[in-house]
Amino acid sequence: MSEAQITPARWMKPVLLAAGIYNIVWGGFVLFFPLTMFRWFGMQPPNYPQLWQCVGMIVGVYGVGYIAAAFDPLRHWPIVLVGFLGKVFGPIGFVQAVYEGAFPLVFGINNITNDLIWWIPFALILRRAHQNNWR
């Protein structure tokens, strides 16, 4: 295929914009209300909520990256790749925490909305970028 034939699918921009907005909102919520989710899920709050706030900050920063990538997803595929890896490794860490008894299973709702729902669209963006020879 020639380079001209490989273009971003129309759905890529709105998906990355949605991921970006979601991440900024979720990250901001965690940053400003770090203990709320623990209360919602009936969990003991962490001794150092600043660590959870740091997670919120990282998630929010990912959101800024997704918004930037939305305007040229095939060119900015490394941002999508880093996000995809986080969305794969996050649930793996969660499963380990559940297995060790550190987190209740209900806390996994975060993994559904933060990670799992984005696997397919991010993977498809990366596939298209690979077809474009990762330019």
pLDDT for 22-52, tens place per residue? 999 999 999 999 999 999 999 999 999 999 9
Specify the amino acid at residue 63.
G
pLDDT for 96: 97
- 3-state helix, strand, coil split of the chain in percent (to 5) is 75, 0, 25
- Smallest CA-to-CA distance from 132 within 84, 77, 83, 79 is with 77
Alpha helices in 1-76 (DSSP H): 12-32, 36-40, 49-70
pLDDT for 2: 52
pLDDT in tens, 76-132: 999 999 999 999 999 999 999 999 999 899 999 999 999 999 999 999 999 999 998
**Is the full-model pTM beyond 0.95?**
no
Do 30 and 61 meet the contact criterion of CB atoms below 8 Å apart?
no
Do 110 and 100 meet the contact criterion of CB atoms below 8 Å apart?
no
3-state class (DSSP) for residue 40: helix
